[in-house]
Amino acid sequence: MSSIEAGTILRLGRVEDMTQGFADTLSALPRPPVMVLGFDCILRRLAIERAGMREEMSEIFARFRVAGFNTYGEQHNGMHVNQTFVGMALMQPETA
């Protein structure tokens, strides 16, 4: 979903379990979010569907109140990166 110019360093990553890592990360938040505004790369979503994990990921989205839209990746340190999820967790203020 992006152009690669001559001389660009290509790095491939490997995921072990997208759903478990995602759930673990959201569970590590200091308290349950009111909502998570999510930006989910379409290639990540397609990979989840191909792996048969769509319903499991949908359950995680519902549990953590994720709402948002699909993107074509993101820019990170001047490089376009695909298959990413970027989210902003909105939480109630911490009580004294």
Helix (H) or strand (E) holding 89: strand 85-90
The number of folded domains in the chain is 1
Alpha carbons 18 and 41: distance in angstroms, whole number: 13
pLDDT per residue as tens digits for the range 11-66: 777 767 889 989 999 999 999 999 999 999 999 999 999 999 999 999 999 999 99
User: Is 11 among the domain residues?
Assistant: no
User: Is 49 among the domain residues?
Assistant: yes
DSSP 59-82: HHHHHTTEEEEEES-EEETTEEE-
**Locus of tokens 């990979």:** 47
Query: Range of 61's domain?
Result: 38-71+78-84
Q: pTM of the prediction?
A: 0.79
User: Is 62 among the domain residues?
Assistant: yes
